[in-house]
Amino acid sequence: LALVLGYQGKYDEAEKLNRRALEGYEKELGVQHPDTLTSVSNLALVLRYQGKYDEAEKLNRRALEGSEKELGEDHPNTLTSVYCLAHLLHTLRQYTEAAELYQRACDGYTQQLGSQHP
């Protein structure tokens, strides 16, 4: 529901639901569980849409670090976290780090999914 609200531009409502979901995941599964880290990324996305870039960056970095630790650097979920952080940094005009992360995501996706994957 939070994702749908975000897509509808109802960012305040989406943020509240994402925060509530994240709280539940952290309580039930722990802060490093892959599902919790996905929830972290979802909240970061809504915050980016709202222009809350500092908190979004912290959450994107948390999701990436957690995914690297729990799933490995080349796992598709980790690569999605790499891409999300790159996108945010691009928005913030931090082009050097963004380009490095975009390249890492592209290389990782190509390695994991193949060059012909859509």
pLDDT score of 117 more than 90: no
How far does Cα 7 stand from its chain's mean position?
Answer: 16
Render pLDDT for 24-56 as a digit per residue (tens, 0 to 9): 999 999 999 999 999 999 999 999 999 999 999
Are 41 and 80 in contact, with CB atoms under 8 Å apart? yes
Render pLDDT for 12-28 as a digit per residue (tens, 0 to 9): 999 999 999 999 999 99
pLDDT score of 87 more than 90: yes
CATH architecture of 2-113: Alpha Horseshoe (1.25)
Are 108 and 79 in contact, with CB atoms under 8 Å apart? yes
pLDDT score of 113 more than 90: no
Q: What is the pLDDT of residue 114?
A: 86
In the structure encoding, which two tokens stand for residue 100, read together?
């490095």
